[in-house]
Structure formats: structure tokens, C-alpha cells
Structure 1
Amino acid sequence: MIATDNTTTVLDEPAWQARRRAHEARVDALVGGHRERAARGEKHPVEDFLFNYYSFRPAWLRRWHPGPGVVLAGETAREYLRWPEYQESGDGVRVAPEALPEKRRGFVRWLHAFLTTTATRPAFFGCFGWHEWAMVYRQSPEEVRHNAHPLRFPPDEIARIVEQGSGCCSHFDAFRFFTAPARPLNRHQPTRETAIALEQRGCLHANMDLYKWAYKLAPYAPSELVADCFVLARDIREIDMRASPYDLRHLGYEPIMIETPAGRSEYERRQREFSARGEPLRARLITVLETLLREGESAT
């Protein structure tokens, strides 16, 4: 049974335990392949990326938290009190926005400004995956990051494609991996400080990073939202690598040939799809942030 008022939902133990089991089963299915490869000492350039690049472990992704505005009833809910973000209430146990430390509250304010600005800025769909090519531009074979996998073109042809391409990457955490010779070819020179001025919702990496922002809010972000963002990031990573200069057909990934008009058209179509999928997730994250700011600051 679930009891609600205008601001709070009280879940009885069978209800929240069912939600927790469903989340755990979902995550087990999502991370099973990664765990099996890790046990064998194998690496996958597409499917393992989210665990190598981001700092959230599979076990943490599996851990269920209800998010703000939810009270867990029943004696078992007291196990959540091991996290300092949880407190007892009259009906059970809840994650408490007022327990958010001031240092973390500053991050919440920044992230709210970052995501709301990104949400209102017009989307741009003209980069065509150029960033992955800029990451191998003028590199020797041993310097290439995923050098266990072949490239689709020799270095001189990759250089020609980069030099004739659309260098307009606005995402700092992609730009920082460009080779030194590729950086001056980019229209923007993003820095961490200018990220909020450049981030836009058409960018594959901006939508992939919704997963990062969601898990950085744990345990305040509902775990179902974190998992939803993970699924989007996983799907984006596949397209990111299919549009890259790497030849991953031996792993079952047909290339999106962004060096051709047809490939650029397909990339833009996928980019628009990801942007549309990212918008409701970004809105849900903004709602969590606004709840944390409203309830946390009203308690101070």
C-alpha cells in the first residue's frame, strides 16, 4: 500500500521492497556482461566505457534509493540509516535534503544552473562526430587510445577527414582528449570554466553526462532515474564509437561513415533522437535539484 500527501509518498515495506528488487534485477541485466568480462580480464571499447570513464561502480548503480519526498515504512527501512543522508521521520525513514552539507549544496546550485541553461539553449546538430577523429589526429599507432582495434583509414586519410571536417565541438570533456594538433582546428576552445556557456543539448556527450550528474546526486537522485540515464549513456556510446575512425565490425558494430553525406545524415538523425530522449531526463534531474535546494534551504 502507498499513502501520499501533497509533498510526501509513504511506501509500505512490500511496496518499496518490490521497487528495490525490480531495480536490482534491471541493473543486473545491464551490467552482467561487464562483470563477466572483468572476471576474465577482458576489455570492451564500447560496453565497458561507462565503467572505465565514469567513477560509479556497478554495485553502486545496483543500490536502490527512493529519492526525496519518499518515506520508507517498516522496520527493515532502518538499514538506510547507515547513510548520513537519511533520517527517521514519523512514518519511517527518508532521505533528508536538509542533511545536505553546504559544500555539496554549492555543487547542487551550480548543477541546477548548468542543466537549466543547457535545457534552454538551442540544440546544435552539425558536429557529425568529428570529436572522435580529433582524438586520433596525427597520432602514431602506439599512441591511439583503443589501439587493440584497427582504424578504418590510414593516418594520412584520417588527417584529411579531420582537416576537411566540422570542428565545432563545444564539450570540454571531449575537447580535452583532442590531440594537440587537432585543438586549433576546433571552432571552440572550451575549458572547464566556460562549460556552462557552451554546453548544448544536441551534444552526444552532454546527454551522456546526464548519467554522471545523476549518480553524483546519489543517494538523493532516485535510483530508477540514475539507471534511466545509464541506459541513454550506453546507447550514445555505441553510436559514438560506430561514428568513430575505429573499425569495430569484428565486435558486431557497423560503422556510421561520417566521412560521407549519408553517414553524416544518419549521425544527425541519431543525435536528434538522443537529444529528445535526454530532455525528460534532464527535466527530472532539475526537479530533484530544485527539491534539494527548496527543502534544504528552508531548513537552514
Structure 2
Amino acid sequence: MTKVEILSEEEWRAREAAHTDRMRAWTEPHRQRRSRGEKHPVLDFLFTYYSFPPTRLERWQPGPGVVLTGPGARRFLDRPGYRETAEGVTLDLSAFSDRLARNARYSLSLLEAIHSRRARVDCFGLHEWAMVYRTRPEQVRHAQVPLRLGHAGTDAVVESLNVRCSHFDAFRFFTPDARPLNQFTPTRERQRELDQPGCLHVGMDLYKHAYKLDPFVPSELLGDCFALAVEIRELDMRASPYDLSAYGYSPVPIEKAEGRAVYARAQASFARRARPLRERLITLCRTLLTENHHSSC
């Protein structure tokens, strides 16, 4: 059984405030941009492709095995998944639904497969280039942002370098002309076979694996996954064909050897930083599935 951690009201309120303040550094600017009708080609992705609402990202959850004490803890009973015990308020493992169990089993299977592999850092972010390969200007995904090398220059880069994208959720946005150029043919069914730790999208997806377990994921782990996803997304787009100088991002010019070297070093660094987060998610999934099994017996 999970070791129980009992938090005083002062302790859990401090954790709650720290998490909320940390996440609001990203959620508040997003709300302000949205209220003005402004699009952000880099950061919107974290709130649109990843569909977790900002209000829930800000909301602190203690995770399993934690008891909240003090009169203020009773407000957690207004949320789904909590119960009151003699010690205080805690997550109710009987509320760990079949849907959440399916999410945990899927994540565990995929995360364990990824964790067993060495990181490959030779793709150089060409997936973003392949998404605009041989398109007309009006078909470009971020049409409000110019291409650094223009359309012809962008196409030339795709044709001159080896496209090695192994992640289905990037590959599925390739243009029809770019798909045959890819070394791999990723599918959803092959994701467990092909996903690998060096892939930027695999690193960002740790955030998705975390929020799919809400409210049974500690917010500190959720926040760490989100913060890493922000940094990875920034590299992802700095290495893209877009000119993001108006948004304060300098390019990582992967069309040049020195740019590819910068990208590969950053990619390797993100893979190292993602590893302990993946380990924490694997442990959480195992714990939830084991504890849920016991609670239903």
C-alpha cells in the first residue's frame, strides 16, 4: 500500500500557492492573448493541441497517498474524487474510474517501451519543415508567420536532408508530398514500437500522460511535465522553417551543420531531463493500477 503523507493546512496551502503561481506564469498570458484575439505560433500549441484547460492546470492536486488536514481541506470534497477520513481529506481510490485505469495502462505500456530505448538525436526537427513542404502560402499552418527561407528554400531543405520522423502525431501532419520522403511510416498502432526518448514530441507528451490521470496526478509532477513541454516546444519552433523573430525567438538554423549540432545537443539534453519525469509517471501508473486493484477487491 502507498505510504501516507499527512500535510498540515499550512503545508498544503504553501504547495497549492506555489503550483498555482508557477502555472499562472503561462496561463495568464495565454488568457490575455486569447481575450485580444491574438495567436501565438509557439505557445498556443500547449493549450490547443494539448487540451487540458488552463484552470485545471492551475488547480493543485496532492496526488495519491496524501491526507490534507485542517478546516480548509473540506473544500476539496466539492471536487470529484475526494473523501473524508478520520485523519483528513484524501483522494478516493474507489473513484479511479475504468476510463482512468485505461489511460494508466496505456501510458504505462508506452512509457515503459520508450524508457527501455536509447535516445536518437538525428531527426533535426524536420517534421515542421515537412508540414509545409510544397504547400501554397495560404496552406501554411502558421500563415501569419513568414518562412525564413521562403517556400522554395524550405522545400530545398526537406529534399537535401534525410527526414527521420518516427512519431505518428507529427507525421500525420506531413503534406502528401513529404510523406514518401520519411524514413519511417509511423501509425498509431506502431507507436509503442517507434516512439523513442530523443523525440521532442515524445518529451512534450509526458505532459499529456500526466493530465490524463487528473486528479490522481500530483500537481508538482504535472507542473514539471508542463514546464519541460514549454521548453521543448520553444526549441521545436526555433528549429522550424518559420521566422519567429517578431515573437522574440532566435532561429536554430538546422539547414546548416552548426544549427543541426545545436539542435542535437539540445535534443539530447531534453531526453536526459525527461527521463526522471518518465520514471515518476511510470511509478505513478503502477501505483494507481495496483492500489485500484486492491481497493476493488
TM-score (norm 1): 0.95
**Superposition pairs for residues 137-286 of structure 1, below 5 Å?**
137-286=133-282
Looking at structure 1, the residues matched to 238 and 23 of structure 2 have their Cα atoms a distance apart, in angstroms, of: 24
Which portions of structure 1, spanning 4 or more consecutive aligned residues, are displaced by more than 4 angstroms?
Answer: none
Q: Residue deviations 1:42-85, cap 9 Å, x none?
A: 11111222012110111111101000110111232122223332
Aligned residue type for 1:225 = L
Instruction: Find 1:294's aligned residue among 287, 290, 294.
Output: 290
Structure 1 gaps, min length 5: none
Looking at structure 2, the residues matched to 79 and 251 of structure 1 have their Cα atoms a distance apart, in angstroms, of: 40
Q: Residue deviations 1:74-115, cap 9 Å, x none?
A: 232122223332222221111133321223212211211110
Looking at structure 2, the residues matched to 15 and 62 of structure 1 have their Cα atoms a distance apart, in angstroms, of: 18
**Structure 1 residue 40: deviation in Å?**
1.5
Looking at structure 2, the residues matched to 275 and 146 of structure 1 have their Cα atoms a distance apart, in angstroms, of: 27
Q: Residue deviations 1:169-193, cap 9 Å, x none?
A: 1111101111111111111111111
For this pair of structures, how many residues does the alignment match?
Answer: 296
Comparing 127-136 with 24-33, which one deviates more in the overlay? 24-33
The yes-or-no answer on 1:30 pairing with 2:26 is: yes
Q: Secondary structure at the match of 2:175?
A: coil
The share of aligned pairs that are identical, in percent, is 52
Indicate conservation of the 8 Å contact 2:103/2:213, yes or no: no
Looking at structure 1, the residues matched to 52 and 102 of structure 2 have their Cα atoms a distance apart, in angstroms, of: 21
Indicate conservation of the 8 Å contact 1:115/1:286, yes or no: yes
Looking at structure 2, the residues matched to 257 and 45 of structure 1 have their Cα atoms a distance apart, in angstroms, of: 18
Indicate conservation of the 8 Å contact 2:131/2:175, yes or no: yes
Looking at structure 1, the residues matched to 20 and 59 of structure 2 have their Cα atoms a distance apart, in angstroms, of: 7
Looking at structure 2, the residues matched to 240 and 53 of structure 1 have their Cα atoms a distance apart, in angstroms, of: 14
Aligned residue type for 2:237 = M
The equivalent of 1:72 in structure 2 is 68
**Structure 1 residue 134: deviation in Å?**
0.3
Q: Secondary structure at the match of 1:10?
A: strand
Q: Secondary structure at the match of 1:209?
A: helix
Aligned residue type for 1:220 = F
Q: Residue deviations 1:209-233, cap 9 Å, x none?
A: 1111111111111111111111111
The equivalent of 2:96 in structure 1 is 100
Q: Residue deviations 1:227-252, cap 9 Å, x none?
A: 11111111111111110010111222
Comparing 31-40 with 134-143, which one deviates more in the overlay? 31-40
The equivalent of 1:121 in structure 2 is 117
Looking at structure 2, the residues matched to 243 and 186 of structure 1 have their Cα atoms a distance apart, in angstroms, of: 18
**Aligned-residue CA RMSD (Å):** 1.4
**Structure 1 residue 155: deviation in Å?**
2.0
**Structure 1 residue 6: deviation in Å?**
7.1
TM-score (norm 2): 0.96
Q: Residue deviations 1:96-146, cap 9 Å, x none?
A: 333212232122112111101111112110000110000000100000010
**Structure 1 residue 203: deviation in Å?**
0.4
Looking at structure 1, the residues matched to 220 and 2 of structure 2 have their Cα atoms a distance apart, in angstroms, of: 21
Instruction: Find 1:15's aligned residue among 11, 17, 23.
Output: 11
Indicate conservation of the 8 Å contact 1:98/1:295, yes or no: no
Indicate conservation of the 8 Å contact 2:4/2:67, yes or no: yes
The yes-or-no answer on 1:135 pairing with 2:134 is: no
Aligned residue type for 1:242 = R
